[in-house]
Amino acid sequence: RVVAIQFRRNHGQTAGFAAGFDQARGRYILTIDADRQNDPADIPAMIKKLEEGYDVVNGWRENRQDAFLMRKLPSFIANRLIARLSDVPLRDRGCSLRVFRAEVTEELKLYGELHRFIPEMVSFAGFSMAEVPVNHRPRVAGTSKYGISRTFRVIVDLFTVLFLRKYSDRPMHLFGMLGISSGGLGVLMGLYLSWLKVWSGIQANNFWIGFRDYDIGERPLLLLAVLLVILGVQFLVMGLIAELMVRTYYESQNKTVYYIRQVIGGDANS
């Protein structure tokens, strides 16, 4: 049974994936671009690989038929950078030819332009992945909207994904670290300036004769110290607010902070 989904307007590729995942039914769910560059003949081999026990199988366009400067080079740079930062060693994140087990797509919550990071989101949720070489054909119609400019957007979105991976359930760890570092540096600068003020009143005979005319108020370092302390307090307050929001999110929706693959032995319902 074929089901087509028509949006009221163009919501982008991420929304297309999300709507497709919501409507799809079956044990396995496959995604493929409509520009005919992917070869449907690769699907049986990908399903066979999935049945070896993997949760997701990604296509790898080993012999990619695209322009080197505008497509292949930016993709190569982005893939290497993301693999290094995310610890998800895939060679081709841009290939939309993928096969998922149904339970994987149920866990994916896509928004913005996070379709670029589906492999990372899958890996962070604890699912297993494999990558197999697939055919790639030259584009026969239309023009691609991808290029060097989108590489920078990918890098920006990557920070969102990495933040969600490490700090989504403990944001105070990040904001607290930034707040303590910033505030601590500001306090050290203030102590240094105070020491200079006191030292200026010590004569050669080692007697302190009071504060001299050394004016620390004219030094830019004082302004920087105050700014860093204020910034540190703001980071700490932001962390507390984020912690309250996270607690509200998990408690109001009965969310868990863990993913269970299976329960072995005992009574799973107890």
* pLDDT recorded at residue 93: 86
Whether the model clears a pTM of 0.85, i.e. scores above it, the answer is no
CA distances from 153 to 146, 148, 149 (A): 11, 10, 7
Task: Write out pLDDT tens, residues 146-170.
Answer: 655 666 777 788 888 888 888 888 8
pLDDT for 17 equals 93
User: What's the Cα-to-Cα distance from 110 to each of 16, 121, 171, 243, rounded to whole Å?
Assistant: 10, 9, 20, 22
Q: What does the pLDDT read at residue 103?
A: 93
Is 212 found in the same domain as 146? no
In a domain, 1, yes or no: no
Examine the fold and report which residue of 167, 195, 215 is the final residue of a domain before the chain moves on. Answer: 167
Q: In terms of domains, do 107 and 225 share one?
A: no
Q: 30-60: buried (b, 16+ CB within 10 Å) or exposed (e) per residue?
A: bbbeeeebbeeebbeebeebbeeebbbbbbb
| Residue 146 maps to a domain | yes
- pLDDT at position 79: 80
CA distance 67 to 46: 26
183 and 145 in a common domain? no
pLDDT tens for the chain, 270 residues long, are: 788 899 999 888 899 999 999 999 899 999 998 888 889 999 999 999 999 999 999 999 888 877 777 777 777 887 888 888 888 888 888 888 999 999 999 988 888 888 888 999 999 888 999 999 999 888 776 666 665 566 677 778 888 888 888 888 889 999 999 999 999 999 999 998 888 777 765 555 565 555 555 667 677 888 999 999 999 999 999 999 999 998 888 888 777 777 777 788 766 554
Query: Do the domain assignments include residue 6?
Result: no
* Cβ neighbour number for residue 88 with a 10 Å cutoff: 17
- Is 95 inside any structural domain? yes
pLDDT tens digits, 58-105: 999 888 877 777 777 777 887 888 888 888 888 888 888 999 999 999
Element holding 58 (H helix, E strand):
strand 56-61
The predicted pLDDT at position 208 comes to: 56
Strand partners, 12: none
Dist CA 17 CA 124 (whole Å): 19
> For the domain that residue 96 is a member of, what is the CATH number?
3.90.550.10
Neighbours of 73 (CB within 10 A): 14
| Whether residues 131 and 243 fall in one domain | no
What's residue 9's pLDDT?
A: 92
In three state form, how does the secondary structure of 86-154 look?
Answer: HCCCCCCCCCCCEEEEHHHHHHCCCCCCHHHHHHHHHHHCCCCEEEEEECECCCCCCCCCCCHHHHHHH
The number of distinct structural domains making up the chain is 2
